[in-house]
Amino acid sequence: MKSAVITFPGSNREGDVIRALRQSTGHEPSSIWHQDTELPKGTDLVVLPGGFSYGDYLRCGAIASRAPVMDAVRAHAAKGGLVLGICNGFQILVESGLLPGVLMRNAGLKFICKMQHLKVGRADTAFTSAYNEGQIIKVAIAHGEGNYVADADTIARLEGENRVAFRYCTAEGDTKAGNPNGSLNDIAGIYSEHLNVLGMMPHPENLIETLVGGTDGRGLFESLSTLRGAA
For other proteins, which stretch binds (CB under 8 A), given 75-83, 124-132, 145-153, 203-211? 203-211
Q: Which of 34, 60, 87, 143 is catalytic?
A: 87
For residues 59 and 145, give the distance between their C-alpha atoms in angstroms, rounded to a whole number: 10
Query: Is 169 a known active-site residue?
Result: no
Contacting other proteins within 98-137 (CB under 8 A)? 110-114
**Residue 56 binds other proteins (CB under 8 A):** yes
**Residue 172 binds other proteins (CB under 8 A):** no
Query: Is 28 a known active-site residue?
Result: no
Length of the chain in terms of residues written: 231
Phi-psi map region of 40: left, alpha, beta (phi>0 left; psi -120 to 50 alpha)? beta
**Residue 12 binds other proteins (CB under 8 A):** yes
Whole-number minimum distance, CB 11 to other proteins, in Å?
8
Whole-number minimum distance, CB 158 to other proteins, in Å?
28
**Residue 68 binds other proteins (CB under 8 A):** no
For other proteins, which stretch binds (CB under 8 A), given 130-138, 153-161, 193-201, 207-215? 207-215
Q: Nearer to other proteins by C-beta: 121 or 217?
A: 217
Query: Is 203 a known active-site residue?
Result: yes
Amino acid identity, residue 199?
G
What is the number of other CB atoms lying within 10 angstroms of the CB of residue 193? 12
Size of the site for other proteins (CB under 8 A): 31
Q: Which of 34, 117, 143, 203 is catalytic?
A: 203
Whole-number minimum distance, CB 71 to other proteins, in Å?
20
Whole-number minimum distance, CB 29 to other proteins, in Å?
15
Cα 54 to chain center, whole Å? 19
Whole-number minimum distance, CB 203 to other proteins, in Å?
7
When computed from its CA atoms, the radius of gyration of the chain, rounded to whole angstroms, is 16
Catalytic machinery residues: 87, 203, 205
Residues that bind other proteins (CB under 8 A): 9-10, 12-13, 15-16, 19-20, 50-52, 54-57, 110-114, 140, 142, 144, 203, 205-206, 208-209, 211-213
